[in-house]
Chain A
Amino acid sequence: MFKSIFDYRKLIFKGGAIGLIFGSSVTAFSEDIQWAGFIENASYYRDNVGLSKFRNTVQAEFSKSLSSDSWSNVSIHGTLRGTYDGVYDLNDDEFGKDAAEDYLGQNWHSRGAATTIIPGPNTTLLSAGVPFPCDNDPLLCHNLNGYMDEKESDAKFPEFNDQLDFVRELYIRADKYLGNGDVLSLNVGKQQVVWGKTDLFRVLDVINPVDYSRHNIYDELEDIRIPQWMIKAEWRMGASQTFDDSNLSLVWNVDKFRPSNLGTCGQSYRILDAGCFFSSYINLADLGAPYTSNVPIIHDVEEPNWSLGNTQFGMKWEGVYGDATFSVNALHYRQQLPSLHFRPHPVAGLAAAGLPAPDGVFDIVFPRVTLLGGAVDYYSMDMDATWRIELAYSEGEEMPRDTDGHKETDMVRYVIGYDKNLVLPFLQTNSAFLISAQVFGEHILDHEIDMPNDEDNWIATFLFKGFYKNNRLSPQLLMAHDFAAKSSVVSPSISWIPDNHWTFNLALNIKTGGEEEFGWSVAGTETFEPLARFTNGPIGVANNEDELQLTIRYSF
């Protein structure tokens, strides 16, 4: 790991590429570097588990203007972040490389058919997930090579890896004023490119993958998007006879593809418990089946190598028309969540019986996806409120299913949001409360009965945030409900900002509902427990993760 900390070669190479794009026209630094940042401790306590996070973060952001003969507003921006999560040292009974579970899914459901010990062979159909397999199981580590193969040390220091994630962002901005008054703007470097306008869940905001291992879905996307090396070009046309503002944006993600991080088995946050599923075995040898050794769930991760053909790109046209702001989006990218491809036994007869290959049940792949979508914000004068609508139609995604492992299907996702700022005098403050409600919908066009996801599902979120004491005291209530999973989360919090430097935030995060016990498959006839976790969704699978959370930040 520490080798990677000092491996600046990639960074220097990529930085050189930025310089080539702007050529020699960037001639000199024109003013001092502006620095800002924070030091933060996030200590979370999980019911019946104890400490679940003791995350210490240092983040520094800098910007510096550069002078150029041929470009305007040239500047370089960077964000550096380093994290140490001490939970793996302070609560190593529960988290870390030695924190084995009794059975797969212990943290969110009781034993079931696939995880109950079968007398005789005295084993379970499915083994418990191996925590941090690259610390404990060379075979699993080899199979998971390149994805979900972090060591405990990587979880403790998540930014210090081969991808140099401690450099969260590093990009150059520059504008070129065109003769007709339009502006050509370039952002080149490691960055986040944000499409979409939603909280917690994403419809159009899918250019950067997301690190759910940091705090499931609950941290700001700003903090959990995984920045990528990209070139963003904007042609800002400004006002025309029809539109008050018009802008065409091209994004080319030239980075090596990275999927979203779901959290490795042994980490305190592993969305859908996928990490432990990926590091488990079907105990077919122990059960006396015709196998010489137990079968790892994952055989291989087909993470695409870097090539020009594997880069991702998109285009957005956005503008303002009257009271509406709008965008039309197109993106050709890769699915950031893993798709599981079942590997049948090479012997036809055994394959016909549904048995998997002896060296692994699934391959993980990340298929190509084409997304078309759009968004509209509309301010309603009559309601004095803003409506947000996002819609995305995708082609090429793969959804899991019981019998075949996966199926490619077109998808429609949408969100309808409602935002209103309202002064509520009876709450004893002159500051307006922010009331924000969202409903996310998902429709699977080629739905099959053995898919864990319903053909249609909705997740609703509600945010109520108020401000007291000159905005230095801010209570907030965040709620979400997954209709299919019948699971909910309620997260009240209060933040206190005593001065320009200190911020204290105290929160509860309580999950309720969800199907805590499953028929062991969606179809109801098989015994492959894992797919049921998708039925229960990110809220339901975390049903035992009620937490008290305290975050203290010093900004500079």
Chain B
Amino acid sequence: MFKKILYSLLIGAAAIMAAHAAPVNEGIINNSFYPYAKGSPTASGIKVGMVINAENVDSVKDYLDPATYLFVKNGDTEIHVGKTTNFALHDSYVEATRKFSGSTKLGENPGQIEGSKAGRPFPQEPSLDDPRAGEKLAWNFKNGYNWGDSAAIQPFYWKYRDMNSGKVERTVKFNFHFLNYTHRTQQEPFPAITPNPSGLFRGIYVQVLEPFDIKNTQLLIQRFEDDLKRDNAYLYLGFQRRVRRLSTGQVTDAFLGSDIMIEDFEGYNGRISDMSWAYKGTKTLLLPMFNHNELTLDSETHQDDDGYQVVAFGGKGGCFPNVTWQLRKVYVLESDPIDPDHPVSKREHYIDAQTFTIPRNITYDRKGDMWKSWLIGQAHPDHHLPKNKGTGVAIDDAFSMIDIQADHCTTGQFKGIVDPELTPTSKMTVQNLRASGS
């Protein structure tokens, strides 16, 4: 009897779902999440194991983004080519895409979306004929699996470097924490943490451990599910022991004197509605994606009981991570700030089609000149810390933000850990800033 009732309820629920959501074609799912199922991409002149340098770069120019091409051409760095690997996202995220993407659509205005509960909102292949294709890609990134439902980077070393002299001017040691309140698929509770009275979408918490003059500086960014609402951002200054609200002017500020804006975090860290988005095509490009455990690592910067070592850097000024690059299917997305006073005229984002991470970004200044090159190296979770194995999270593992005009860079060395215990909701409160700072 109970079984009968249960079946009836399930059938009813399925009928309700069917009434609201068109099922997503499995071919679309496979194309979106497993683009290399039928084979790795190939490129003329590029072979696994080769080194691309100033001498041979012109022959493979089409498979590099413009900034990387310039660096290699100038002899600032070399590209070591690795094998294309399958960065499969967690099954729960794929399943959520099956479940919800069929009923997801853009709202009337940029920044508005309907029906996106979890998973990739728009798994369909983008079309140059679709005037809002760029916006859909931006949503796929924003609601992407990025760090999964929560993760921590601890520790996280940022080095401010003079690119000409190679001098490390500052080393800042951080802890970073990320927590999704909504669009959760893998860590309980899902799809959302409750209560959530203000409708938070995501929290980012940053704590400075060193050096002394900025020790205990903490940043908390709360992003809302409603994209039209501006982030709440709080800064705790250790030497003042108090929390300051941040105006968004600081989002485009050089964060703690680095070459990075808060808006740059993870490739783009802002509202969809702050930008005009344009899809510029799909390419096969080399991206810095690799197996961490197979690299020659930096044995000096970090030592711990796990025996973990961070990615090493080399090249001009020590501004380039010593990682391998692999051919990937890439969506080229351009974002232009709506705000005419924004310090950036546009950004080019080179999005990895499988993971929807953004390993390469190029920023242009207000005059339209190339200003910054932003590299976020992605490590495969199964070849990283044992704890990350099977998480399906492409691990941000090394970054380099190069200010091309100033010959200056900020490099980042990560110990990224996908572990919900490291980022409880209590970490994302204003009170935590005060408590952790005192």
Q: Which residues of A contact B (CB under 8 A)?
A: 36-38, 173, 183, 185, 187, 191-194, 196-197, 199, 220-222, 234, 236, 238-245, 247, 318, 320, 322-323, 325, 377, 379, 381, 384-386, 419-423, 425, 430-432, 467, 469-472, 497-501, 503, 553, 555-556
Contacts and interface: CB of A to CB of B under 8 A. Distances in A.
Contact of B408 (A222, A245, A470): A470
A325 B243 contact: yes
B7 interface: no
A236 B245 contact: no
Contact of B232 (A193, A323, A472, A503): A323
A36 B243 contact: no
5 contacts: A220-B239, A239-B197, A386-B247, A431-B257, A470-B254
Contacts of A37: 212
A245 B244 contact: no
A386 B430 contact: no
Given A245-B430, A379-B245, A36 B253 contact: no
B238 to A, nearest CB: 8
A470 B245 contact: no
B438 A472 contact: no
Contact of A422 (B229, B249, B257): B249
Contacts of B243: 197, 325, 377
B171 to A, nearest CB: 6
Contact of A421 (B171, B246, B425): B246
B170 interface: yes
Contacts of A553: 213
Given A220-B239, A234-B435, A472-B257, A556 B247 contact: no
B242 A499 contact: no
B241 interface: yes
B44 interface: no
A430 B341 CA distance: 12
A471 B254 contact: yes
Given A196-B242, A197-B243, A241 B431 contact: no
A384 B248 contact: yes
B429 interface: yes
Contacts of A422: 247, 249
Contact of B169 (A194, A234, A470): A470
A173 B212 CA distance: 21
Given A245-B431, A381-B229, A471-B256, 17 more contacts: A197-B242, A222-B239, A222-B240, A236-B426, A239-B195, A240-B197, A322-B198, A377-B245, A384-B230, A386-B244, A419-B247, A432-B249, A469-B257, A470-B254, A470-B258, A498-B169, A555-B213
Contact of A320 (B253, B425, B430): B430
A318 B343 CA distance: 36
Contact of A242 (B197, B215, B230, B247): B197
B259 interface: yes
B250 interface: yes
B219 interface: no
A500 B256 CA distance: 13
Contacts of A431: 253-254, 257
Contact of A430 (B212, B213, B253): B253
Contact of B196 (A173, A239, A499): A239
B320 interface: no
Contacts of A499: 169-170
A499 B211 CA distance: 10
Given A470-B408, A499-B170, A386 B245 contact: yes
A503 B249 contact: no
B210 interface: yes
A325 B245 contact: yes
B212 A556 contact: yes
A199 B242 CA distance: 10
B252 interface: yes
A240 B195 contact: yes
Contacts of B232: 323, 379
Contacts of B430: 245, 320, 325
B200 interface: yes
A423 B243 CA distance: 21
A192 B245 contact: no
A243 B366 CA distance: 40
A222 B239 CA distance: 6
Nearest to A77: B438
A210 to B, nearest CB: 14
Contacts of B366: 425
A472 B170 contact: yes
Contact of B245 (A318, A419, A503): A419
Given A236-B431, A325-B243, A500-B211, A432 B252 contact: yes
A259 to B, nearest CB: 22
B160 interface: yes
Contacts of A183: 426
Interface in B264-299: none
B197 A236 contact: no
A322 B171 CA distance: 36
A423 B215 CA distance: 24
List 5 A-B pairs, minimum CB-CB distance, nearest first.
A471-B257, A555-B212, A432-B253, A386-B245, A421-B249
A220 B240 contact: yes
Contacts of A322: 198
A555 B117 CA distance: 48
Interface string B186-202: 00000000011110100
B253 A420 contact: no
A79 to B, nearest CB: 11
Interface string B57-94: 00000000000000000000000000000000000000
Nearest to B200: A244
Interface string B358-369: 000000001000
B244 A384 contact: no
A386 B246 contact: yes
A430 B215 CA distance: 23
A37 B212 CA distance: 7
Most buried by A among B213, B246, B247: B247
B212 A318 contact: no
Nearest to A420: B247
A497 B213 contact: yes
B371 to A, nearest CB: 9
A553 B211 CA distance: 13
B241 A194 contact: yes
Contacts of B247: 379, 384-386, 419-422
A199 to B, nearest CB: 8
Contacts of B343: 423, 425, 430
Nearest to B432: A236
B362 to A, nearest CB: 16
A4 B244 CA distance: 39
A208 B125 CA distance: 62
Contacts of A238: 425-426, 429
B263 to A, nearest CB: 12
Contacts of A241: 195, 197
A419 B254 CA distance: 18
Nearest to B231: A379
A381 B228 CA distance: 11
B258 A38 contact: no
A480 to B, nearest CB: 17
Contacts of A381: 229-230
Nearest to A182: B426
A192 B239 CA distance: 12
Contacts of A503: 213
B412 to A, nearest CB: 15
A220 B435 CA distance: 20
Contact of B435 (A185, A323, A555): A185
Nearest to B229: A381
Nearest to B437: A194
Contacts of A185: 435
Contacts of B253: 421, 423, 430-432
Contacts of B429: 236, 238-239, 244-245, 247, 320
A191 B437 CA distance: 12
A245 B212 CA distance: 29
